[in-house]
Amino acid sequence: MNDSKVQMSESFDLAIILAVAGGFLDAYTYICRDHVFANAQTGNIVQVGITLANGDLINTLRYFIPIIAFFIGTLLVMYIRDHNRTAWHWRQLIVAAECMIFLIVAFLPLEHDANILANVLVSFSCAMQAETFSKVLGKPFSSIMCTGNLKSGTEHLYHALKEHDKRRLAKVKDYFLIIAFFILGAMLGAFATSFMKEKGIFVPLIIMIGAIIMMFQQEAR
């Protein structure tokens, strides 16, 4: 779909980049940071319920802290959006903050206490990303989880088949491509983390720097 007239924050190219980063981060924290999902807080919420049922309060805290970090990250983005007075666009500030967070996480060792902090920071950054980039080509989407994208893509597929609407089919393609790139990001995360361990997060750091460059280029044009 042509997105030449769409602002960069909603462009399909940027959505793909963010989806790759989102898939990578979930694989990264799950593989080398104590099997915690940084993006999909539903999984962590379920784990809170399971650990509470088992009376395992220590692990309850382990899964609950990233949820709180996600909550605070969302609130912070909303505050920055409403109060930003800098020369940078508020979205550029958020992506730059994500890059700084990834740089910090890269130097946290693979130890239990450090992993807790790493998961908090990554969950915090994922919340910021989700709140900052919530649309692609004017339609709702998520770069950090696939459930909503799968639902939206399936709905468009149903209406496309029912109404014989080719425009709907184009939207189906967009949503399922985003899911495919999220999976690609998870695969890349699995490979990179296996070889680079905690330093694997340098990969999404580079990806997000590319996102900032794209945003500045559009602003210059």
What percent of the chain clears pLDDT 70, i.e. is strictly above it?
96
Q: What is the pLDDT of residues 120-161, one digit of tens each?
A: 999 999 999 999 999 988 889 999 999 999 999 999 999 999
Give the pLDDT confidence score for residue 35 in this predicted structure: 86
Rg, C-alpha atoms of the chain: 18
Strand ranges (E), 69-218: 135-136, 139-140
- Specify whether the backbone of 101 is left (phi greater than 0), alpha (psi in -120 to 50) or beta: alpha
CA 90 to chain centre: 17
User: Which helix (H) or strand (E) element contains residue 151?
Assistant: helix 147-163
User: Which CATH fold topology does 8-220 show?
Assistant: Growth Hormone; Chain: A; (1.20.1250)
Domain spans in the chain, listed from the N-terminal domain onward:
8-220
Q: What is the pLDDT of residues 159-203, one digit of tens each?
A: 999 998 888 899 999 999 999 999 999 999 999 999 999 999 999
The three-state DSSP-derived secondary structure of 57-75 is: HHHHHHHHHHHHHHHHHHH
